Amino acid sequence: MAYSSILDWIQFKDVMSNPFYPYESYNLPFDISYKLWEILGGLISWLINLIFPGNGVSLWLISDEVSNMFALVLFMVIIFLVAFIVTLLSLWMERKVLGRVMDRRGTMIGLKGFMQCLADGFKTFMKENVIPRKVDKMTYMWTVSLIIGTSMLIACMIPLSERWFVVNYGTGLLIIMALFALAPFFILVSGWAQNNKYSLIGGMRAAELMISYEIPMLIMIATTCLLAGSFNINDIINMQSDTVWFFIPQIIGFITFIFCATAEAERVPFDIAEAEAELVEGWQTEYAGMKWGLIMLADYMRGYVSCAMVVIMYLGGWLIPFASADINGIMPEIVFLIKVWFVFFIMIILRGSLARVRTDQIVNIGWKIFMPLSVVNLAIVLLLKMGGVF
C-alpha cells in the first residue's frame, strides 16, 4: 500500500456531526477532548498503519464510535483537571489572603506562592500509607474514599457555563445538594471506625453540625428554585439574567446561605468537626500522608462547591448583568470563576475574623437564627411570587 500522509488520518470533524455525540447542546470540554483524541488517535493509527499497512485497527481507532469513547475518557480528565486547578487556586488565595490579614506574606515558593500547594500535595503523596492497627480497616478506607470521592464528584459536576458541564439535567441543584450532604454521614462512620476518642467526638460533631444547618439550607435552596421555577441550573441563571440577581429579592437568604455554605464546607467558624485547637484534628486524626492530603483537597473542593452554589443561586452565575449576548459569550467560565473566588474571599475574611462556635451554640444558631430567617425568606419569596413580581 502506498505511503499515507499523517494528514489523511487526522480529520477535524465537527463534534456535533458525530452520530454518537452524547449531549443535546454544544459542550466545550467535550469538543476539546474530541479534537485532542482526533490528533492523538490519528497519530497512533497513522503509526500502526505505517508498520502494518492496511490493517483494521487503524480504521477502528478513528471511527465515530471509538473516537467518542476515547474523547469521553479525555473529557473526564479535562473536567477533573479544571476542578483541581480551580481548587488549588482557591487554596493559594486562602493562604495569601490569610497571610495579608495577619500582616504576613503567606506562601512564597514559586509563582508568588502557588507552587507551595503542589509541593505540599507532592509531599503528602510521597508519604507511607500508614493504617493504625486497631482501626476497622474496611470502614476506615471506604469512608475516606467516599468522602473524597463525593467531594470530587460534586466539584466536577458544577457547570462553569452553559457550554461547560458534565450532565445537564432537570434536577441539577438538588443532585449536587444531595451529594454534598452525604459527607457528614461518612464522617460520622469514619469517626467511629477509627477507634479514637478525638475522631469519634469529631464525627459526632459533624452530625450535630449537619442537623443544625442542613434544614435551613435546603429551605433556602427550595426558595431559590421556587423563585426560578426550576431545579435546572441553566434555568435558574437565565431567570436571574431576565429579572434581577436573586440576592436582591432574598437578601436575607443570601447572607444566611453564605453562613450555611460555610458550615456545609466545614470551614471556620463552623469547623467544629475538625477543630484542631480542641480535638487533635477531629475526625481526620488517624488519617496520615496521602489520605490526609486528599482530605484537605476534598475540603477545599467542598469550599469551591459551596461558593459555586452561592454564585449559581444568588449572584447570577456566569452571566454579566446588562451585557449583550456577545459579551456574555466570550468567557462565561472565567466570569463564573471570578464570582466564585469573590465569594471565597468573603469566606476567607470570615475565617480570619470569627472565632469557632461552640458545640452548644451551633444548634442554637441553626435552629433559632438560620431557621426563622430562611422561613422569613421563603415567606418574602412567596409574597413576591403571589404578587406576580416574578
Q: Which residues bind another protein (CB under 8 A)?
A: 97, 99-101, 103-105, 108, 349-350, 352-354, 369
Got the DSSP string for 206-262?
HHHHHHHHHHHHHHHHHHHHHHHT-S-HHHHHHHHHHS--TTTTTHHHHHHHHHHHH
Cα 365 versus chain centre, distance: 26
Cα 123 versus chain centre, distance: 24
Q: At closest approach, how far in Å is the CB of 83 from another protein?
A: 27
First-last CA distance in the chain: 68
Using the minimum distance from each CB to another protein, give the nearer residue, 132 or 352: 352
Using the minimum distance from each CB to another protein, give the nearer residue, 100 or 127: 100
Map grid coordinates 504576613 to a residue: 104
Using the minimum distance from each CB to another protein, give the nearer residue, 61 or 97: 97
Q: At closest approach, how far in Å is the CB of 253 from another protein?
A: 17
Amino acid letter for position 359? T
Residues linked to residue 164 through DSSP beta bridges, in sequence order: 161
Q: At closest approach, how far in Å is the CB of 25 from another protein?
A: 41
Using the minimum distance from each CB to another protein, give the nearer residue, 183 or 348: 348
Q: At closest approach, how far in Å is the CB of 108 from another protein?
A: 6
Using the minimum distance from each CB to another protein, give the nearer residue, 291 or 351: 351
Q: At closest approach, how far in Å is the CB of 279 from another protein?
A: 24
Residue 178 sits at the vertex; the CA angle it makes with 81 and 242, to the nearest 5 degrees, is: 80
Q: At closest approach, how far in Å is the CB of 65 from another protein?
A: 54
Distance CA 49, CA 177 (A): 49
Q: Say if CB 153 and CB 144 are below 8 A apart.
A: no
Q: At closest approach, how far in Å is the CB of 354 from another protein?
A: 6
Distances (CA, A) of 102 to 95, 106, 174, 340: 11, 9, 38, 23
Distance CA 25, CA 47 (A): 34
Distance CA 250, CA 236 (A): 14
Using the minimum distance from each CB to another protein, give the nearer residue, 66 or 115: 115
Using the minimum distance from each CB to another protein, give the nearer residue, 103 or 360: 103
